[in-house]
Homo-oligomer: A and B are copies of this chain.
Amino acid sequence: MRDVAIIGVYQTKFGELWDTSFRDLITEAGIRAIVDAGIEGQDLEAMFIGNMSAGLFVEQEHIASLIADQVGLNPVPCTRVEAACASGGLALRNGIMAVASGFNDIVVSAGVEKMTDVVDPTPVISTAADQEWEVQQGANFPSLYAMMARRHMHEYGTTREQLAIFSVVNHKNGALNPLAQFPMEITVDQVLNSSMVADPLRLLDCSPVTDGAAAVVLCPAEDAHKYSDTPIYVKGSGQASGTIALHERRDITTIDSTVHAAKRAYKMAGLQPKDIDLAEVHDCFSINGILAIEDLGFVEKGEGGPAVEDGLTERDGQIPINTSGGLKSRGHPLGATGIAQAAEIVWQLRGEAGKRQVEGAEIGMTHNIGGTGGTAAVHIFSN
């Protein structure tokens, strides 16, 4: 298996982008990532696109073909991969496999979602949960994560304030990210007084509905210095499945797919949680940020809340989490999120993260999940 490097990245502005179409978003991300890599379109040998539901959001399937066409890259093979909100993470993983296998040399892994072209995105997002056992019974993602939060509070004494602090820290970082959807600071009081969505989760515990795209360019590690002075290396890639429905879990305060995917990524990288300098985790809801830092092994199970309260996850803390602003502040265009996370880690490891730079960052992780954890993808990178 060949080692793989990232030589180019790009992320569009995330937000409610009324004047930008699905096609515009992915074209901007793809072309600008290629420019960042210093390659030409004809150098590209394959593309993998993470997208959850263009079929339901913009009534267009077969988007990989549309995209190859749109960016002028026919006949380059282009493949869409879908795993709900983990679609981007799997597009990254499949791109890595294409290079590692020797099938392709230079590959783009990208993600895109255009969520604001429907009146109500909730039914679309809900197709990431089990339709028959969850959605048709009235559950949706806020209510499912609310149950996970309530149980975590019950089991481990996690407080409502600790959940709020996770959002506050995200926004503190996101305020320094010009590409974030909500680049402003918020306070614990604001979180606690925001509208109730699904008890105990309030509006400011929830990631927003977002349009956006992101892309990374991959090549064999041995060739990386031909293209980039600051290549970032893929050290580990782990993917795992978990039950799609929450009621089937042995424990709803642990996302087993995160645990398994992380174990595989750590093993492939030959690293441990203590070796990770910073991580982008999948905080679709504040509780999921807390579950993530536990399930990735940064703190013991049940210690996520106190860790956040003690500042361990702040930019100058022991394990900086979501320097980009995370899903909460940067925004969460479903299929693009896994790639945007990788872009942030690349910028950090290159030393290009501007005001939100973590000094001396050498090893970073991304953690991207689908649904309530039916799919998890974990990647580890180094400079």
Interfacial residues, chain A to chain B (CB-CB below 8 A): 1, 46, 52-53, 55-56, 58-66, 68-69, 73-84, 90, 93-94, 97-98, 100-103, 124, 127-131, 237, 239-245, 248, 256-257, 260-261, 370-371, 374-375
Given contacts A56-B61, A75-B256, 14 further A-B contacts (CB under 8 A): A1-B101, A58-B131, A64-B82, A65-B242, A66-B130, A75-B242, A76-B240, A76-B241, A79-B83, A79-B94, A80-B83, A100-B101, A100-B103, A101-B102
- Contact yes or no, A69 B245, CB < 8 A: yes
Q: Knowing A68-B241, A84-B65, A101-B97 touch, does A260 contact B127 (C-beta < 8 A)? A: no
Shortest Cβ-Cβ A-B pairs, 7 listed: A65-B374, A101-B101, A68-B241, A77-B239, A62-B84, A75-B240, A75-B260
User: Are A82 and B65 in touch, CB under 8 angstroms?
Assistant: no
Residue of B nearest to A2 (CB): B101
Query: In the bound complex, what is the Cα–Cα distance between A131 and B61 (angstroms)?
Result: 9
A375 touches B131 (CB 8 A): no
Residue of B nearest to A21 (CB): B132
Copies in the complex: 2
Among A62, A76, A82, A375, max chain B CB count under 10 A is at: A62
Residue of B nearest to A102 (CB): B1
Set of chain B residues within 8 Å of A257, measured between Cβ atoms: 74-75
| In the complex, chain B residues whose CB is within 8 Å of the CB of A261 | 75, 77
* A-B CB contact pairs (8 Å), 11 listed: A53-B55, A61-B128, A63-B82, A65-B242, A65-B370, A68-B374, A74-B256, A77-B241, A81-B81, A81-B94, A100-B103
Which B residues are in CB contact (< 8 Å) with A78?
Answer: 241, 375
Q: Which residues of B contact A103 (CB under 8 A)?
A: 1, 97, 100-101, 237
